[in-house]
Structure 1
């Protein structure tokens, strides 16, 4: 009979992966901390996520091991946390780990007192000590001995560490102003890190970081700097050629372990698909290059096929591993391909996709070739080659679908869904594919039905259960999605909900004394201190996206209280941003909306006449714009939301467009050609 620990009743796929471990795991809960206090034991905290390769390695090596479990169960209270489910806990202890060790990552290993104060931090730890690296068994035994023989010293150390790091992380920066020079400073830093041969920034490992590309597109738009656009195109083209892109099933893997984008870390995350598809979409608007449109469509088709809940909402991720081996689902043997394809097809994929008899895939662990192949290109296919490839790709895809698939993390997170809603809504606005609007609407409605209770958002939905109070990112990302959805559909219910949620976000997270949004609300007792996140890492920070939301809503509603918060938000973080601007590219993209040319576009008229008008507007790259629609042939409460729209009327009974930019309004137009000329002019 199987034996389970305390994780068995959890909903997180990551926690459930550990429910059969001999380690007596608890989820993060009062019961675990009470037991630690009552039994005078330290806490062993392990944080990871379901698609984390090294989390799997450490579980298999140590947490499934009876010897390790015995030491943990006798001397510690062990707690497992899913970082995606509890980003509040993860963020605090990850910052502590980075402060203590100079680096961070997952699995995150923290040993702390029963009152949550850490005295040891690390990441992956092998079971046994070797090569001067302390192993988990030796570490646990040493700490158990210290705890029993010199506990006061460890408690004092934990107090000192917590106090010092809390002071450093919550230090109030002096208020400063910020001007347009910051954009050039950020551009200069990105240019100095740019890899001219393969695109992207820095060397290996290489991350897509799409908000860097979004910032560069805005910088190009406002300055005319051609090199900024060239850096974006080089990166997007190189990424789409490499193995980081799944040429057979579409979608992007998490990052590339090499400089050339060839060898990926194979997990696929929802947030990457959302942000990368937006980057390709904006590049398509900026250049008209149909290849970027095609790539955006392919990414979204992957999300629809693999990461979409039938009831609405998007799943979180797909694992890197299948059958216990990283990348197994995605890799191909030479002979397997030879048998599957005819000679002409086989020759084509070998030549174009660099397939080799002894394999082209280099395993970073074994430091050698595995005999397996990953599909990647060294140059783009021409039209004829691409038609041929699509026929071959379908054959390969159908064959690959029969393999054992990687684990899908099917929890639905409000924040990541907000990003994906924004992506689908923007894609509909630009590409006019009805399915994209329907998908964005269905997901937003799913969140509003299942994760919006008593005026507040919840963070996670899985298996019929919505749980965990929403964080700043849940609010700011979902508000962004709702704003994009309003501009795609002109359904005011989404705009009204965005305003309601913004007011709640301010109430729950805004620091009225010192400015900035906290990540957690004041009711959260699980974190040992509240933090304000600004760094735009794998995903933008909640403060960066909140800035964009507030700027858009201030322009839509004319509300001065939103403008006051915008000013304080920028002042609060100005010192931090000035120190290293390129670490805050989404924040700077939002700021460019306030400091550079922006557009308020008001359309008054009939809904069925919007098609050509919106095509002219949305085919252009005009990132800093809001669009409002006031129907003349149906009831609407847009004038209640945006009082100044009551002054706008149709001219000569025709749908009319009003455009304001840089605090001045242009002459209204109701002719498509005039609209096009006006947009070219300004």
Structure 2
């Protein structure tokens, strides 16, 4: 078949005529542009057609790098028989869940309510007024083992719509009442907690104390896998915010067990098949408990959050392996996932040439051809390669069975020599792999995921003292602020052939996080200023003035079935947990109490949920750890070119100080944003550090040794 020049996808319709999705920008929707299904994008045209033709809506939600979305597409949506049934019975709508997470959240909640499970592809059948009466995930073309396939389900739904519509409408009302009642129930529970006292009470024990953090740690440790690292059984997800929380538990309590759990998990993932040992970066998750066989797609948000976790582990332990992992993850991002415009692409597919993992796996013969017999023998020892394959169809997934130090001792090779040889082999394998057919790259740029990557790059730039990473973070932030922001200061969610789709809570919260991290990395006041301005927009259009917390969608956005407010930290931290952390940090950076007061109200709105099940709120617990303090407020006065200043910055950034606010008290811009900075000046011509711990300030110090002594004195007290 010929390839369509616009979509890059083979036309699958026999008449080669595209459907309505052809005019869309989403790579996922464009994958379906030549389906025989008469797809509509989400919009009024589709719902008006449903009313006019008196048909229910068949809603299919997925994303471009979703393996099972591809399976369902090939089995059903490209099949003329299924398409005829769908077109005759429904108005069919396709949604990219990465572009419209607001829609996805609502109907995923419906699927979980109906079936007890969620995931993608998400299949929902609903009335023309958007009320769902059926929801499921992947559905095969034909039924088996007592389960309906699409060929049986579609006629069944059509028959009920034509002859027993009242039953379907009644089911829709029950589901909608459940979804709305769940939202109201949360609000009622929060109302029962009362409004509390002034902001400082929220963070001095009146609403919570460190026992909540202890409960969160106990819940997490109860599902910890001591043999392989990680949490739960198969499938096993990275969930980097669990690691961030464990590192804070270790620092707060001095208990070695949280650190051991974090290190074991990070090591297991780094050595396992979930890590791409040839091209770097992490795959989405492991299908087994050992981190061996991954689901091969790569997501931008995973790289960002994992880079953050490995950066903090490096700061906490000083172990070079963590720093190396950070560098490799970010090498992958800057090499393969960075737009010439400065933004970062969304994902890479698991499949190539129609086979999941084909790009990433190796036969023994392919490895020998690339490396030669001698290095192939070494590869077997280092990466668990088998002549007959360690995976399906005689292919191998590379994974380390032991660290380089242990392998070097067993092989009687110096560590440095073994690592050098391993990297040479990696380079040759990478060159060979580059000649293969690459998986699809989803090249849309999402504001929220870009915010996470900017935060990761900025944090790593400081910890690794790498200005190139700071430059990459700055380019990404500049792109978002210049291209993804409207004249009135509002953000757009998606960039592909232009910026569009109004931003949601995560876009604002994650980008503000990135801007705060970037300010602390480069001390350009424009980034702190931008963070403050975006936070104003967030408060104006997303804040729930009655119950506290942030809604996912803006008050002037599209009217959907309901306006959700999400606190749960899933694969991604919730926008509310990051917004809470942002408010606390902005309060310390600017000295403005109003941020802390809003943070206290946000805590009150979320606390009943966190208290009931702390395991699902690990990023919230990180923010609460910051709220409980102690917080290091560090203001530097002097020139960044001053040698003493550079040494003090290296001392600060080399330490694991998760609860800190770092400010450069120089220039009129920062004095406008943080008025207290006007009083902070160098001491006797030397760069100085002004350090306060929980509002108790010390005399300024003028050298790295003095600063380290002061920080260590504070740490010993806490």
* In the alignment, structure 1 residue 142 sits paired with structure 2 residue 156: yes
Contact 1:178–1:571 (CA under 8 A) maintained in structure 2: no
* In the alignment, structure 1 residue 459 sits paired with structure 2 residue 489: no
TM norm structure 1: 0.97
CA distance in 2, matches of 1:289, 1:23: 54
Unaligned runs of 5+ in 2: 1-14, 194-206, 406-414
Q: What residue in structure 2 maps to residue 481 of structure 1?
A: 514
* In the alignment, structure 1 residue 613 sits paired with structure 2 residue 627: no
CA distance in 2, matches of 1:164, 1:272: 32
Cα deviation for residue 174 of structure 1 reads 2.5
Contact 1:195–1:203 (CA under 8 A) maintained in structure 2: yes
Q: 1:349-364, aligned counterparts within 5 Å?
A: 349-361=379-391
Match of 2:470 among 437, 447, 455: 437
Contact 2:647–2:703 (CA under 8 A) maintained in structure 1: no
CA distance in 1, matches of 2:558, 2:493: 16
Q: 1:257-336, aligned counterparts within 5 Å?
A: 257-336=287-366
Q: What residue in structure 2 maps to residue 402 of structure 1?
A: 435
Instruction: Provide Cα deviations, 1:526-584, integer angstroms capped at 9, x if missing partner.
Output: 42001111111111000000001100111122223222211110011111000111210
Contact 1:89–1:526 (CA under 8 A) maintained in structure 2: no
CA distance in 1, matches of 2:381, 2:327: 26
CA distance in 1, matches of 2:495, 2:368: 44
Contact 2:313–2:322 (CA under 8 A) maintained in structure 1: yes
Q: What residue in structure 2 maps to residue 91 of structure 1?
A: 105
Q: What residue in structure 1 maps to residue 49 of structure 2?
A: 35
Q: 1:386-425, aligned counterparts within 5 Å?
A: 386-425=419-458
Instruction: Provide Cα deviations, 1:470-510, integer angstroms capped at 9, x if missing partner.
Output: 00000000000000010011100110110000010001110
CA distance in 2, matches of 1:213, 1:562: 27
Match of 1:379 among 387, 402, 412: 402
Q: What residue in structure 1 maps to residue 74 of structure 2?
A: 60
Cα deviation for residue 359 of structure 1 reads 1.2
Match of 1:507 among 510, 533, 540: 540
* In the alignment, structure 1 residue 427 sits paired with structure 2 residue 427: no
Q: What residue in structure 2 maps to residue 234 of structure 1?
A: 264
CA distance in 2, matches of 1:637, 1:148: 66
* In the alignment, structure 1 residue 346 sits paired with structure 2 residue 346: no
More divergent stretch after superposition (169-178 vs 534-543): 169-178
CA distance in 2, matches of 1:459, 1:647: 40
* In the alignment, structure 1 residue 642 sits paired with structure 2 residue 656: no
Q: 1:530-545, aligned counterparts within 5 Å?
A: 530-545=563-578
CA distance in 2, matches of 1:484, 1:636: 21
Cα deviation for residue 266 of structure 1 reads 0.2
Q: What residue in structure 1 maps to residue 202 of structure 2?
A: none
Partner of 1:524: helix, strand, or coil? coil
Q: What residue in structure 1 maps to residue 695 of structure 2?
A: 663
- Between the two proteins, the alignment pairs up a number of residues equal to 671
CA distance in 2, matches of 1:195, 1:281: 22
Cα deviation for residue 89 of structure 1 reads 0.1
CA distance in 1, matches of 2:553, 2:703: 49
Partner of 2:60: helix, strand, or coil? strand
Q: What residue in structure 2 maps to residue 678 of structure 1?
A: 710
Cα deviation for residue 338 of structure 1 reads 2.0
Q: CA RMSD in A?
A: 1.0
Structure 1 stretches of 4+ with a deviation exceeding 3 A read none
More divergent stretch after superposition (400-409 vs 370-379): 370-379
Q: 1:156-235, aligned counterparts within 5 Å?
A: 156-171=170-185, 172=187, 173-175=189-191, 176=193, 177-235=207-265
Match of 1:78 among 92, 101, 107: 92
Contact 1:509–1:519 (CA under 8 A) maintained in structure 2: yes
Unaligned runs of 5+ in 1: 362-368
Match of 1:130 among 138, 144, 153: 144
CA distance in 2, matches of 1:189, 1:119: 35
More divergent stretch after superposition (240-249 vs 588-597): 588-597
Match of 1:556 among 589, 608, 611: 589
TM norm structure 2: 0.92
CA distance in 2, matches of 1:255, 1:52: 12
Q: What residue in structure 1 maps to residue 6 of structure 2?
A: none
Cα deviation for residue 636 of structure 1 reads 3.0
More divergent stretch after superposition (382-391 vs 527-536): 382-391
Cα deviation for residue 329 of structure 1 reads 0.2
